[in-house]
A and B are shown apart, each in its own frame.
Chain A
Amino acid sequence: MEIEKLKEQIIDALNLEDLTPADIEDDAPLFGEGLGLDSIDALELIVLMEKFYGIKLQNPAEGKNIFKSVNCMAAYIEANRTK
């Protein structure tokens, strides 16, 4: 799983025009502190996982761990991707 590619997809999906992949730390929290994302951004990340990796997230409890950081997202994608 290419972390840089995932960061680019996140920047594009969330319209974070002022950021580059280098600005996003691999282990920094995506929600709250760190990137400071909120529920609308969560939707974009859910759809991103579905669109690019064929992963259909259903369970909010699962989402909490997956969206902890870019590294967590990458690890989940690597283990569950269907495309």
Chain B
Amino acid sequence: MALEHEEWKGTTGGLPWMQRTMIKWLSVIDQRVIYVALVMIFVPFYMLTCNREYRAMYHFYHRVRREPWWKSFAHVFVNQYHFGQVIVDRFAAFGGREFKFEMDDREWAVYCGMANADDGFLQLSCHMGNYELAGYILRQPKKTMHALVFMGETETMMQNRAKLFAPRGVEMVPVMPDMSHIFALNNALRDGNVASMPGDRIFGSTKAVECRMLGHRVQLPQGPFQLAVTREVRLMAVWVMKASHDTYRVHCHELKANPELKKSERVADLARQFAAHMEQMIEQYPTHWFNYFEFFEQ
């Protein structure tokens, strides 16, 4: 039995038959048709019915980013629309749709350097953009990627993820109470492969590193940073952000451990570097932040 998150389900909405229908539709029609339906029907519906998620997002824009109420409200709407788009794109990918990806040449060179090295490395994501599509562009001929996932998705989602990712060398590692995920991630890094996990969600272990983001306290999970320091592997933060209906912009940034610090300080320093880059990404893409719970402490 996999673990579930207390505050955030982290699952894709809809019954399995709805998801299967959506995948079939998106294999024949342009996803922009569904985008229109998002604006007209789904986003207003979700804003009326998903109050907890709506409130958390409203607080993010109004209290954290200090926007006036009307702008916060408008940003919540746009945020929900963007979230809908990335979910639709995910289904479109399951249906065989190919997306274009753009990336800075220098960032790509650093990423390729890590991917082609013999050592394993850790790839960090967060709940922004459409990280799941990273499997398309960030293929590594020499390595397999072991992606930590929180279970709870429907069978349709898990089967399609597996179908999409298996040929691309991506294996999913569910968080389990028997800690088998720890063994899987440790084995992956020891064998020179890639471990991938979110850096903004405390799950499994309750240990956290307190950081500052946008002038507020936040708690980031200690696990990913501890794993990188303990196994002495490089750490790359990756964001896959929607740029247009068929294009995503991939941002990569290497977080560097300071060897002069004590181990526990190195872990905290990496977490704070990640928080600083996440803050930059939020400033750049304020309506692509999909952490639908009260992430920022008041």
List B residues 150-178 near A (Cβ within 8 Å): 176, 178
- Chain A min CB distance to B106 (Å): 32
Are the CB atoms of A40 and B178 closer together than 8 Å?
no
B179 touching A60 by the CB < 8 A rule?
yes
A-B contact count (CB 8 A): 50
Chain B CB within 8 A of A81 CB = no
Q: A38-B205, A44-B230, A64-B178 are in contact. Are A58 and B223 (CB under 8 A)?
A: no
Question: C-beta contact mask, B187-199 vs A, less than 8 Å → 1, else 0?
Answer: 1001000000000
Report whether B230 and A38 are in contact in the complex, using a CB–CB cutoff of 8 Å: no
Closest to A17 in B: B264
Instruction: Determine which of B176, B204, B230 lies in contact with A47 in the assembled complex, contact meaning CB atoms within 8 Å.
Output: B230
Bound complex: CA A61 to CA B178 (Å): 8
A interface bracket (residues with beta carbon within 8 Å of B)? 10 to 19
Q: How many residues on the B side are at the interface (Cβ–Cβ under 8 A)?
A: 23
Docked Cα-Cα span, A46 to B188, in Å, equals 13
Q: Is B227 an interface residue (CB 8 A)?
A: yes
Residues of B within 8 A of A75 (CB): none
Closest to B264 in A: A15
Tell me, yes or no, whether B17 is within 8 Å of chain A by CB.
Answer: no
Selected A-B contacts with CB under 8 Å, 15 pairs: A39-B181, A39-B182, A39-B223, A40-B205, A40-B226, A43-B185, A44-B226, A46-B183, A46-B186, A58-B183, A60-B176, A60-B178, A60-B180, A60-B182, A63-B183
